Chains A and B, each alone.
Chain A
């Protein structure tokens, strides 16, 4: 398979996953904002949503304050924010368009349809349909796209790159979400078990579609360390870091069984660390530091893929001519 095709498919999947995760993040922020709050809680809450993104400074430069409306516009519809739902789906669709021969017609149609609809949506339209309904719609479209990909795509290398993109992005997103929300919530971690706390942690779990899983696994009240364990270490939780890295290492083995690749080594080490880690150790040494380190290593795997599969940028001859 062409290296460029692999790269396009990888980014297509990453951007669809990113759109979904942004919708999840906004959704959890709205759920949290529904609680009675004091002082600057609201600013902290919405600021944390911005802090997750790649370039919070650019938000404050252009919007000033992290009000709910500003955050929604920036993260859902802003054409100049490369991680907004709008930009993510636009990029995903462009990548798909470039790879029409590597994906199935059904995949193209699923992505093209959501893009054509999203193009006509503005802030007013979101108000009209209801914000939560908008987030649900984005999540559903992402589920649909993934389902169609799994249901129709030939299990060739292209499919493996779709998986790589999905799981690397999801790992990044879960780690960032946990990192930022943990910060916001930590000050109240002492009165574990309060109704307010219950709601807040519940929202974090819901954003990772893990609320009912938590209930099944831990049964009792919502304890922050359990939430961290669930989203970091559990192998049976589909959005946990461990599950994502299992998928990444498996996929790399399928893609290049006989090759010794640096990306395989890097991903394998992260996975091993997650497999043998203990949540109390992680919290003792600092959850924030752990997550920061994870995000950095996860990104390094992504960069290494470029080298290992010749996806390096091409030298542009036109510049010198």
Chain B
């Protein structure tokens, strides 16, 4: 596949953004790079920046491979990503607030009613609950891919409990330690204020009736969660208490935490626990991880959850094709970053087209994630394609199809030396009174030659992302 390389473009001449990196690489030997990589690994391991791989013996702690070659974006490129993602998150928040209140967009016929209100991801339990500034998704991970010098697409939105930001922040720390001279030469914009912005947003969305200094906590499912390290890291960076469900309880319409000096009121919960576990009284009764009765406190407006419950309805893959219309409907603007063209297999014409072109397309389950359960046509065998065809025919509404994108590549240090590998980009958009981003992102890289799957559960690695000023 002919694809765009972020260092060498399509032709082979080094692009401006990478000029200094290219010069630097010419003087580095594979031995030095390998030594730097080992050094980075040692730092990650010592800091305990690991993730748990489920299903392996005893949920082994593993490192996500870190590539020491940075990915570089110019300020113009960043400007597109920044304004495009901020625009998108504004529209998605407006959509969430709308479908949990009046449902104007449905009434206007822009989004099919059954797609929203008969979707299992729609949570009637939180219908009608007002949230400060209408913000439902305070932290959003927008997955962006690139196919050319000026071609960016949003691949998907993550509005529930997106993770990965600790890799963005710690990756930068490690890079500054390993390659100080590159930073001196390259004017890389800083990202360290992420935690500060997040904290001030969380303060801003405290309930109106919160008294004095609002009490903010980060709620984790616990130390056995795959992203536990990140929860610890963020709580530490913000200086807020890291709690588990068992530390919280509901009394007299408020949430309290158990402290050694007695119960203390909690106003804002940055939670990293999935919706269905949050309240055994409202959702899964067998969940011991959540806080019984917390939905009733939400309804009384006495606590704010970040992110709010029920966001799945906006980042569901079956709703994704409608995001550009949301931008037009709520903001009256044209999308700055386009969606990937998507065939909705619930519609007969789209289904017929997709079935004719399965071998060229990527087909995804609307509720799948983590790179599981998808078909990448061009790299699949005839047998795999035929098996997948049967699955699609059994329930077409469960699938969407997209063209196989020629994802851009970045120079990456692998076994055979420095070679191009496919990447994607997950910037984190922070919403409170205002919506903003730090100039950085979590770049995932598919380490296997030719692979388009960047998920860390499937052998992907990470890179530091540099935005030049």
Residues of A within 8 A of B (CB): 1-6, 94, 97-98, 100-101, 105, 108-109, 112-113, 157, 255-256, 309-311, 314, 316-318, 321
Given A1-B260, A310-B262, CB of A101 within 8 Å of CB of B232:
yes
Instruction: Give Cα A45–Cα B172 distance, bound, in whole angstroms.
Output: 57
Closest residue on chain B to residue A116 by CB atoms: B45
A98, B258: Cβ atoms closer than 8 Å: no
Closest residue on chain B to residue A309 by CB atoms: B260
Instruction: Give Cα A314–Cα B243 distance, bound, in whole angstroms.
Output: 14
B232, B236, B259 — most chain A CB neighbours (10 Å): B259
The answer, yes or no, to whether B47 is at the interface (CB within 8 Å) is yes
Closest residue on chain B to residue A311 by CB atoms: B260
For A255, list chain B residues within 8 Å (CB).
260
Min C-beta distance of B274 to chain A, whole Å = 16
Q: Report which of A105, A310, A321 forms a contact with B280, defined as CB distance below 8 A.
A: A321
Given A2-B259, A6-B260, A100-B48, CB of A321 within 8 Å of CB of B286:
yes
Given A101-B235, A255-B260, A316-B288, CB of A109 within 8 Å of CB of B246:
no
Residues of B within 8 A of A (CB): 46-48, 222-223, 232, 235-236, 241-244, 246-247, 257-262, 280, 285-288, 292
Closest residue on chain B to residue A160 by CB atoms: B260
Closest residue on chain B to residue A313 by CB atoms: B246
B222, B257, B292 — most chain A CB neighbours (10 Å): B257
Instruction: Give Cα A112–Cα B48 distance, bound, in whole angstroms.
Output: 9
Min C-beta distance of A42 to chain B, whole Å = 39
A4, B258: Cβ atoms closer than 8 Å: yes
Given A100-B236, A101-B236, CB of A318 within 8 Å of CB of B287:
yes
Min C-beta distance of A174 to chain B, whole Å = 27
Q: Report which of B223, B232, B247 forms a contact with A3, defined as CB distance below 8 A.
A: B247
The 4 lowest CB-CB distance pairs between A and B, nearest first, are A318-B288, A100-B232, A309-B260, A314-B246
- Given pairs A98-B223, A317-B288, 7 additional interface contacts (CB within 8 A): A3-B247, A4-B246, A4-B258, A100-B232, A113-B46, A311-B260, A317-B287
Min C-beta distance of B468 to chain A, whole Å = 31
Closest residue on chain B to residue A97 by CB atoms: B223
What are 21 A-B contacts with C-beta separation under 8 Å? A1-B261, A2-B241, A2-B257, A2-B258, A3-B247, A3-B260, A4-B244, A94-B223, A98-B223, A101-B235, A101-B242, A105-B47, A112-B46, A157-B260, A255-B260, A310-B258, A310-B262, A311-B260, A317-B287, A317-B288, A318-B287
For A310, list chain B residues within 8 Å (CB).
258-260, 262
For B287, list chain A residues within 8 Å (CB).
317-318
A108, B259: Cβ atoms closer than 8 Å: no
Instruction: Give Cα A316–Cα B244 distance, bound, in whole angstroms.
Output: 13
B47, B235, B261, B285 — most chain A CB neighbours (10 Å): B261
